[in-house]
Every structure is written in structure tokens, then in C-alpha cells.
Amino acid sequence: MNGRQFIARVRRWARIRKLEVRFVASEGAGSHGTLYAGNRKTTVKDRKKEIGKGLLGKMLADLGIDKDDF
């Protein structure tokens, strides 16, 4: 999964839970940006590149998303 796909899946997950989601590209170095879901946030690297398994787990933990729900 790449960064764009991750953001899209977080949006779907948050919509069910009635949470606001926003991605702020200017809040990150280089091609990174910050993804907010409710009152939690995580950094998303280049939206075109693949996200590794370990990083994906950390990003889900940052947002409080259970891997089984995602």
C-alpha cells in the first residue's frame, strides 16, 4: 500500500466513526505530511511510495486504529 491508499483507507475508517480527517502536506519535511484523524496524528511519507509493514503498524498505532479494523 502506498501513502495515497493509506490516506484513503483512513478516511473510510474515520467516516464510519464520524471523525474528521485532514492531511496537511506543509507539516512535514520534503515529501512528508501530517495526517490527522480526530485528535490523533501520524506522519505520512511520500504518498507515491510503498509503506513497509513495520511503518504501517506504527502509523496505525499513532492513529489508534486496530490492524483488524483496517
CATH of the domain at 8: 3.30.920
5 contacts: CB under 8 Å, gap ≥ 6: none
> If pLDDT is split at 50, 70 and 90, which confidence band does 1 have?
very high
Number of domains in the chain: 1
Report the mean per-residue pLDDT for the chain. 95
C-alpha cell at 56: 504501517
Q: 5 pLDDT exceeds 90?
A: yes
Domain enclosing residue 63, as ranges: 3-69
Instruction: Compute the distance between CA of residue 68 and CA of residue 2 in angstroms, rounded to an integer.
Output: 19
Determine the average pLDDT of the residues in 10-26.
96
- Write the single-letter amino acid at 8: A
pTM over 0.85: yes
